[in-house]
Structure 1
Amino acid sequence: MKNLTARLLCLLFLVAGPAWSQEGPQLQLPRVTLSAGMHLIQAQVAATPQERAVGLMHRKEMPANEGMLFAFEQPSEQCFWMKNTLLPLTAAFVADDGTIVNLADMQPQSLTSHCSTKPVRYVLEMNKGWFDKRGLKAGAKLSGPPFTR
């Protein structure tokens, strides 16, 4: 399973184009196209501990249909906070098959922890309200390369 995840992440790096960036300690990350029903998402992929630690910190804006997909090596309870993050975000905690396990609205520059309700490998951060505006709730399915097995 670990080997499959490594190969998937390598594939993402090879097929992904350059990512949007802003000032600050942001990294140029690979991108992946995901879909939530008819809605397309362009997501940067944060797959290493360093990339996940920086995440969306210090960004002042993010395009409407873009986000960040945090990819972990194995499913686990994932908890996120918003220290040094300037944008209000919604985190979707996502199972290996693309099912949204739970959603959490997160306030900028907060140390409040928001966790998955069960072990997940993926967390997708989008602008706050993105999922709600599209009627996407826990149980909805995302599709795209990370969720293809």
Structure 2
Amino acid sequence: MVFSVVLVAGSVQASECQQDRVSIRGDWGQAAFTVEVADDPRERAQGLMFREHMPSSHGMLFLFEKPQQVSFWMKDTLIPLDMLFIQSDGSISHIHENAVPHDTTPIVGGAGVVAVLEVNGGLAARFGIDEGSELQHPAFDQAQAAWPCVASSSD
């Protein structure tokens, strides 16, 4: 099976952030996903429902206005997903792997969640993404970010 997700082992540097891209790093290496951003109630409610396929290099980033406890379900979701629950500094606090399509059981991410990244089920384990891994995205407060964005140079 071929994956088109960028996975880089070794030294990881800060890079310029883009709204439609999330980078993740940890002791296991680095991965990057092209993301759709769901940052309002309507988009968050729709999520990835009714989609029959999502490329392995893609995901959806749910953004919340303030840290809170969030929960998801898979009622009208057709593909298994890994859900990465993220704190305000961009660190992953909880991972729910391989959420089952059509399941109505609430998936709770814990307290203080400001974002959730959904990717295809099994990718977190395949890459070794774990709790404590760090995300880089412009939506995180860059003054608090564990992995801040690099400002683009306009000089």
The TM-score normalised by the length of structure 2 is: 0.74
Partner of 1:140: 133
| Greater radius of gyration (CA) | 2
Cα distance, 1:100 vs. partner?
A: 0.3
Aligned with residue 118 of structure 1, among 104, 111, 121: 111
Could you say what the CA RMSD is over the residues aligned between the two structures, in angstroms? 1.5
Moved more, 139-148 or 78-87: 139-148
How many angstroms apart in 1 are the aligned matches of 2:127 and 2:111? Answer: 24
How many angstroms apart in 2 are the aligned matches of 1:137 and 1:120? Answer: 16
In structure 1, the residue corresponding to 2:139 is in which secondary structure? helix
| Equivalent residues, number | 121
How many angstroms apart in 2 are the aligned matches of 1:134 and 1:144? Answer: 19
Identity %: 37
In structure 2, the residue corresponding to 1:36 is in which secondary structure? strand
How many angstroms apart in 2 are the aligned matches of 1:118 and 1:65? Answer: 28
* Runs of 4+ with >2 A deviation: none
Q: How does 1:66-105 map to 2 (within 5 A)?
A: 66-105=58-97
- The question of whether the paired residues in 2 share the 8 Å contact of 1:60 and 1:87 is answered with yes
Cα distance, 1:148 vs. partner?
A: 4.7
The TM-score normalised by the length of structure 1 is: 0.77
Matched, 1:107 2:100: yes
Cα distance, 1:116 vs. partner?
A: 1.2
Aligned with residue 20 of structure 2, among 32, 40, 59: 32
Higher relative contact order (Cα pairs below 8 Å, separated by 6+ residues): 2
In structure 2, the residue corresponding to 1:59 is in which secondary structure? coil
Higher helix share: 1
- The question of whether the paired residues in 2 share the 8 Å contact of 1:90 and 1:127 is answered with yes
Q: How does 1:54-65 map to 2 (within 5 A)?
A: 54-65=46-57
Partner of 2:120: 127
- The question of whether the paired residues in 1 share the 8 Å contact of 2:71 and 2:108 is answered with yes
Residue identity matched to 1:33: R
List runs of 5+ in structure 2 lacking aligned partners.
1-16, 143-155
Matched, 1:48 2:40: yes
Cα distance, 1:147 vs. partner?
A: 2.5
